[in-house]
Amino acid sequence: MTVLPNSPHARDVASVIHPYTNLKKHEETGPMIIDKGDGIYVEDTEGKRYIEGLAGLWCTSLGFNNERLVEAAANQMRKLPYYHSFFHRSSMPSIDLAERLIEMAPVPMSKVWFANSGSEANDHMMKFVWYYNNARGKPEKKKIIGRHKAYHGITLAAASLTGVEYAHKGFDVPLDRFLHVTAPHYWREGQEGESEEDFAGRMAQEIDDLIVSEGPDTVAAFIAEPVMGAGGLIPPPATYFEKVQAVLKKHDVLMIADEVITGFMRTGNMFACETYNIKPDLMSIAKALSSAYLPIGAVMMTDEVYQVLRDGSDKFGMWNTGYTYSGHPVAAAVALETLRIYEERDLLGHVRSVMGSFQEQMQQFADHPLVGEVRGIGLFAALELSPDPANKGMFDPAAKVAPGMMARTQAHGLISRALPGDGIALCPPLIITEEQIGVCMERFSTALDETWAHVQAEGLV
C-alpha cells in the first residue's frame, strides 16, 4: 500500500504509535483504517468489507452494531458520566455489576475489584498476592509461576507473567519473582509414546519440582489461561488442571485463572473454569464483559483471600491501590447491559448450537499437507502450519508463513490472527450463524491453499 500525502493513512503514520507493530515498516505501509461495523462484519475506509474473524482482539462478542449497548452508554452518560470509587464512594452501576458477577462466578466468590483492561486486572492480582502474603506474615512468599507461551497482558507485571518472547524483547522483562514452566501443548511437547494424561502428569510434576527447588515458602501463586490464547490457542491436555491444582494445594500456592479471553461462553460454558474444573482463588475477566464496547476488566476473589486483604488494609492503614476509572459508571452500565443481552438471547445456547459445526469445519483442515495440528474448543480454534507435519517440523520464523496466510485471509475478506510458531487463529463474534461460519471457512480454506502454493514455490517444503 502506498501512503499518499495528507491521506488519513499519512496522518496516522505522522501521529500514532501502534501496539504490536513494526514502527519502521508502518511508516512505509500505513494502517488499514476500520471505519464501520455491522454484526460480524467491519468495513475499512476503502469500502472493503471483512468478516471479523478474531472478534477484534478476542473480545467483540456481540458484534459491531448493538444498539442496546449504545443506548446503555448514552443513558448512563446523561445520568452520571463519571464518578470514582476512592474514599468509600461508589455508583449504582458498579454495585449492580459486582453483584451480578458474583452471582455468575464459576466458584463462590466474595468480592469484585474493577480495572480497565485484562492487563490491569492481571497486574493488580500480583499486587494482591504480594499484599496477601505480607498480611499473612509470609513476606518471602512472593514468586509467581506462569507458563511459556502464556499471554497475560503487557504492563510490567503482566508482561512478566506472559511467556512469549516477543513481549519481552527490549523491555527488560520478566522482572524478578516471575518463573515459567513448559506450555502444556501435548502435540508439540509430548514425548513419543506418552499419553495425554501422562503428559499432564509430567507437566504437573515440573511445577511441583520447581516449587520444591525454589522453596515452597517463596512461591505464592500459579497463573494460567484455561485455554492459552495469543501464545498459540492451546487447550489443556486431559486432567491437567486437576493434577496441577493438587500440587498447588499441597504447597499453599494460590490458583489464579486468567479468563480475559475465555470468559463469557467462548468455550461453551459461561466460564472456562467450568469447562476444565478449575477452582481459582483469584480470577480475572475483561474483553467480552462489555463486548469490548467500553474498556472494563475485573478481578474476582474468594472470601478466604478477601478476608486476608481486609485485615491487611487495617494493619497497613488503608487499601492503597486503585485507578481513576475503576468501576467507571458508564463502562459498568454497558457491561451490565451486555450480561442482560447474553441472558435474554440465550447466547450460551446459541454458542452451544453452532460450536460443534465450527470445530468440525476447522477439523476438515487436519489432513491438509501444510497443517500439523488443528486445535480449539467452543468458538475459537487454530491451525499450526508445518513444513513436515508427520515430524512436527517448524518453518524458519524469517519465512513469516503464518503472517503471510493472515494477509491472504484478509485479502479474501476475513480477518484472522497469526500466532507464535506459525499458528493461525479464528475467534469470531459469538453471534456468528451457521451460514456465516461456512463463509468464514471458505475464505480460510482459499487462503490456506494459496499459502501452500506459496511455500512450495519458495522451496520452503
Segment 320-342, tens digit of pLDDT: 899 999 999 999 999 999 999 99
pTM equals 0.95
Residue type at 104 in one-letter notation: M
User: In this predicted structure, what is the pLDDT of residue 383?
Assistant: 97
Tens-place pLDDT, residues 118-127? 999 999 999 9
In the sheet that holds 414-415, the strands lie side by side as 34-38, 41-44, 49-52, 414-415
Helices (H), 215-302: 240-250, 272-275
Q: Rounded CA gap, 236 and 242, in Å?
A: 11
Counted residue by residue, the chain has a size of 461
CA Rg value for the chain: 22
**CB of 246 within 8 A of CB of 204?**
yes
Class of domain 69-344: alpha beta
Superfamily of domain 32-65+347-457: Aspartate Aminotransferase, domain 1 (3.90.1150.10)
User: In this predicted structure, what is the pLDDT of residue 6?
Assistant: 82
Residue environment code for 129-154, b if the CB has 16+ CB neighbours within 10 A, otherwise e: bbbbbbbeeeeebbbbbbbbbbbbbb
User: In this predicted structure, what is the pLDDT of residue 4?
Assistant: 79
User: In this predicted structure, what is the pLDDT of residue 1?
Assistant: 64
Which residues in the chain show pLDDT less than 50? none
User: In this predicted structure, what is the pLDDT of residue 5?
Assistant: 81
Domain ranges of the chain: 32-65+347-457, 69-344
Alpha carbon separation from 61 to 53, 78, 285, 409 (Å, rounded): 11, 26, 14, 21
User: In this predicted structure, what is the pLDDT of residue 22?
Assistant: 92
